[in-house]
A and B are shown apart, each in its own frame.
Chain A
Amino acid sequence: MEEGKRNMTNERDQVHRAYDDSPQRFLDGNEQDKFAGADSVLFEQAMAQTRMAICLSDPHADDFPVVFANRAFLELTGYLEDEVVGRNCRFLQGPETDPVNVAKVRTAIEDETVVVVELLNYRKDGTRFWNALHLGPIYNEDGKLLYYFGSQWDVSDVHAARAEEEYAKTLSRELSHRMKNMFAVIGSIVNITGRTHDIRSEARMINERIQALGRAYEPTLDEASLGSIELGQAMRSVLAPYDPEDRRIRYLGNGLRADPNFVSVVGLSLHELATNAVKHGAFSNETGTVSVDWKHRDAAHDTPEQIEIEWIERGGPQVAQPVTASGSGHSIMQSMVAMAGGTITYDWKSDGLAVTIAIPHSGSAA
């Protein structure tokens, strides 16, 4: 049993490697003037060796029969040579082959032009495959139409990948839509509660934080499957409402990815910094600017591998170090960053606040 199986495999293997003599036989059966001298050798070698399924059809015979098919064609379609030669190529079509594309092929033949279409074709055993068909006329030296050349390539894998990609896109679009809607509903609930209990300003503050968090995750859904988040996209998304004309914030970092849970701390911290800048800092006048940089730092003797974020305000009003009240934006940031095992340092320079947030993060991919 085992022996037999191996023999069969070997046999098939050998058949596969055996020289494809169909081009030679085709040449032998045809007039010499069609493929003369070096041309015939080239034809023979190329047709035999290519993995591309190739056939030739005779436009002068009744019903356009196939007159030549190389072995790759037979392997692709599962037919034997004598089941192919003499028949019109439409035997590859089946119930779900798109007639529109078949019509394109017909038109190209009538116009003697080249056409490339993808057709759903059927093998001898009834299984289907996507065939990238390239079809075109072949002329002799005198410009006389000799054959139609058809090359077929199984692109089923490409089709499957495309369909999967399409599905993933649709899914992430739907997820993104639902998430935004959910954040909108959460926002409404907080608002309504704030109104009912007459704590509107608190409700608004809560809402702004929740919405900042929502924005931080928003750009990540498209690539949720990657398992990490492009930090720059998340930061831009969080800060976008503070710079609607895109002229006051400069983003210096690039290409750094981080774990999703990292993003909530960073997103909320940036929100607090921006809110503070609106009240007291660079966004409180018309000319102030902020530059945001982020980079990965390898572990050093006293620090772990971490991501460092720099927030530098310039051109705002001169600020003095505030007395930090518990519950203020700064103290919330302090606590959040500390929870993540990181550090936050402030530098109240005369031309603006500079903040550095460093949070441990292993395996940051650039």
Chain B
Amino acid sequence: MTDGAATMDNGSLTVLILEDEPMILWDLEQEFSDAGLHPITARSAEQALDLIGHTVPDVAVLDVNLGDGKTCEPVADRLSQLGVPFLIHSGDLDRAGEVVRRFDVPVMPKPTPAYLLAEAARALR
């Protein structure tokens, strides 16, 4: 593992969660912590890219539509470059499909219970 890798000393996976809906983000953050993961959260693509600049996560869970017609694509691009596996968590499977086709990643449709998402995030690694 390189210096930039985020896996903490206790071995928990660092998971980037990108989600613009605060309630969902809060739920996922808590559930992921409960599941022994180390969540870092972002509500916009800019925030996520900023976070990735400091800490490269081990895996990521990305919502597709982030409001104002913005999507997670720039983040997906960056993660792909870094070789970080991620999954798509979206209620708009039509639009999610475009991202999925580009990156060939797993999709968890909204709504999916948070504990199942935590399991799926862990399985990415």
Contact = CB atoms under 8 A, between A and B. Distances in A.
A187 B109 contact: no
Contact of A192 (B26, B91, B111, B115): B26
Interface residues of B, number: 20
Contacts of A187: 27, 111, 113-114
A177 B92 CA distance: 5
Contacts of B111: 180, 183-184, 186-187, 211, 214
Interface string A205-218: 00110010010000
Contacts of A192: 23, 26-27, 30
Given A177-B65, A181-B21, A188 B114 contact: yes
A191 interface: yes
Interface string B4-38: 00000000000000000101101110110010000
A191 B21 contact: no
B24 A185 contact: yes
B77 to A, nearest CB: 23
Interface in A312-345: none
B110 A191 contact: no
B31 A184 contact: no
Given A211-B113, A214-B111, A173 B94 contact: yes
B91 A184 contact: yes
Interface residues of A, number: 21
Nearest to A173: B94
A317 to B, nearest CB: 26
A180 B110 contact: yes
A195 B113 contact: no
A205 B113 CA distance: 11
Contact of B21 (A176, A185, A207, A214): A185
Contact of B91 (A181, A186, A188, A204): A181
Given A177-B92, A178-B91, 18 more contacts: A177-B65, A177-B91, A180-B92, A181-B21, A183-B110, A183-B111, A184-B21, A187-B27, A187-B114, A188-B21, A188-B24, A188-B26, A191-B27, A191-B30, A192-B30, A195-B30, A195-B34, A211-B113
23 contacts: A173-B92, A177-B65, A180-B91, A180-B109, A180-B111, A181-B21, A181-B91, A184-B24, A185-B24, A186-B111, A187-B114, A188-B26, A188-B27, A188-B28, A188-B114, A189-B23, A189-B27, A191-B27, A191-B113, A192-B26, A204-B115, A208-B113, A214-B111
Interface of A: 173, 176-178, 180-181, 183-189, 191-192, 195, 204, 207-208, 211, 214
Interface of B: 21, 23-24, 26-28, 30-31, 34, 65, 91-92, 94, 109-115
